[in-house]
Structure 1
Amino acid sequence: MRTPLVTRQGYEALKRELDELWRVERPDVTRKVSWAASLGDRSENADYQYNKKRLREIDRRVRYLRKCLENLKIVDYRPEQEGRVFFGAWVEVENDAGKVLKFRIVGYDEIFERNNYISIDSPMARALLKKAVDDEAVVATEAGSVTWTINSIAYEKQGENDDSNNA
């Protein structure tokens, strides 16, 4: 089960996506479907077939986003989070082999198309929660356990640019 949390930036991005799909993309694709349908035989009309499929994809995503936005809880930064890993934190970790990772712990719906975001529900995030700089976290994976040391923890305060901390 997914934890229904989202950062304020993530919530706003999902709202923008919904708005773009509903107000821009859907009307445009609907016009294309109507135009293609007016040409006659729909069974061999590639424009009609493609745009009808795209319309179904848009409608499916719109339904998902509406339901999702209704159920998500926005988690804003709070000063008492400083110094420990909580939801919304940018965390840099290092393992014994010297591999360094930097990522932000966010909600499930925020991780797509972002290789520097991980879900709050991931084994890594779960192992890091409430830990401080220099603490060790043992992350259990299918390949075995790996120990990570926390190098740094940072939070985006209200109004900071989402892209300012990208790895």
Structure 2
Amino acid sequence: MTVPYPNYISPEGFAKLRAEYDHLLGTERPRIVEVVSWAAGNGDRSENGDYLYGRKRMREIDFQLKRLSKKMKDAKVVDARQQPDKNRVYFGATVTIADEDDNHRTVTIVGNDETDVDAGRIGWGSPISRALRGAAVGDLRRVLLLAGEKEYEVMAIAYPV
């Protein structure tokens, strides 16, 4: 399935992906390979828990390495500090919005791999993020959510300095 937008990610988000990849490849996988090699030397592999668990864990690590490698390959690193038009909402913007009931909410638009709703970090591909793209302060945007349609007004836009 092709994503209709680039897989944007912040430099910090990319560094986290890279650190996880490096940890799995440089620490976790060699440790598991050592356990599996030791366990294989203990005889009957069919009833050897260390061997069976080690092989299973190695497959999981290899799957994670492949997934992380693809994410890093497909990622387009965007530094929000370099955004040319800071008066409009684009990747990396921190946006304060108000709904019809004047409830204010502040969100930061981040890469889909960096999403943390509890911390106010919403993914670039989320419905709210898609609706806010290109908006300026004072613009009204309609968003179709699971709970129904909502209208938001953009109250403030900020970018990291």
| Structure 1 residue 79: Cα displacement | 4.8
| Structure 1 residue 26: Cα displacement | 0.9
Quick check: 1:156 aligned with 2:160? yes
**Match of 1:30, as an amino acid?**
V
* Aligned position for 1:109: 113
CA 1:148–1:22: 2 relative to 1, 3 Å: same
* Aligned position for 1:126: 130
What is the percent sequence identity of the aligned residues? Answer: 38
| Structure 1 residue 73: Cα displacement | 1.4
What's the TM-score once normalised by structure 2's chain length? 0.83
CA 1:69–1:90: 2 relative to 1, 3 Å: same
Q: Which of structure 1's runs of 4+ aligned residues deviate more than 4 A?
A: 112-115
Superposed CA RMSD in Å reads 2.2
CA deviations 1:125-145 (Å, max 9, x no partner) are 010011123322211124320
* Matches of 1:13 and 1:145, distance apart in 2: 35
Quick check: 1:60 aligned with 2:63? yes
* Aligned position for 2:101: 97
Gaps of at least 5 residues in structure 2 are none
Gaps of at least 5 residues in structure 1 are 158-167
CA 1:132–1:29: 2 relative to 1, 3 Å: same
- What does 1:131-146 correspond to in 2, within 5 Å? 131-146=135-150
Matching residue within 82, 88, 92 for 1:88: 92
Residues 77-86 or 104-113, more deviating: 104-113
**Equivalent pairs, count:** 157
* Matches of 1:43 and 1:92, distance apart in 2: 59
* Matches of 1:36 and 1:104, distance apart in 2: 48
